[in-house]
Homo-oligomer: A and B are copies of this chain.
Amino acid sequence: MARSRDLDDSASRAALLDAAESLMVEHGYAAVTTRRVSKAAGVNNGLVHYYFGTMDDLFAEAFRRRSERSLDRLRHVLDDPQPLWALWEQSRDASSNAIVMEFIALANHRKAIKKEIAAYSRQHRRLQIERLTTVLEGYGVDLERWPAGALLVLVTGTARFLLLEESFGVHVAHDETVAVIEREIGALEGERRVYERRASAAS
């Protein structure tokens, strides 16, 4: 908050963050170099250091911006009429997962990023557990036997694992895994139905 509004709102700054994201998704985090990111953003390469200081700071800022948007979206996901289906679908979304995987890979070599991801993950998980507990109680699930947190980790962990393997072109036993999970979700809240698109703050 000590940072000036002017600096945060700069179009060049935003362009650099956007370019960093899209480079990460399309060519991996290693493609995000001062020269390439500034070229992709259409600004001069000196501006990277003017706005962010170091590459570490650029990455951290890109992750923070993503996290805020993502948490906003999460707050609405479990308001879906079929929250378990919505959660599952969101977990299976490859596009939003690709950049997360890049950040995770990046974190192995940038400690500052590692801390950001850890903090975000904890917050995200806690928020999900809170909402999911309410949902499962409504379905009459025995939460002693099947705690919301455990089901959440099982489902989202498996979803991410599936996405990871799929990004390698590995699909062995994926169909039956998806079938089992969707059968169990269906047993709790019926077949997935299609609703009117909900209004959302996220773009």
Contacts and interface: CB of A to CB of B under 8 A. Distances in A.
Contacts of A181: 154
A77 interface: no
Contacts of A83: none
Contacts of A161: 153, 156-158, 160-161
A122 B129 CA distance: 33
Given A147-B176, A153-B177, 16 more contacts: A28-B109, A30-B109, A101-B108, A114-B168, A121-B165, A121-B172, A122-B172, A125-B173, A146-B180, A147-B173, A149-B173, A149-B176, A150-B177, A150-B180, A158-B161, A161-B161
Interface of A: 28, 30, 101-102, 104-105, 107-109, 114, 117-118, 121-122, 125-126, 129, 146-147, 149-150, 152-154, 156-158, 160-162, 164-165, 168-170, 172-174, 176-177, 179-181
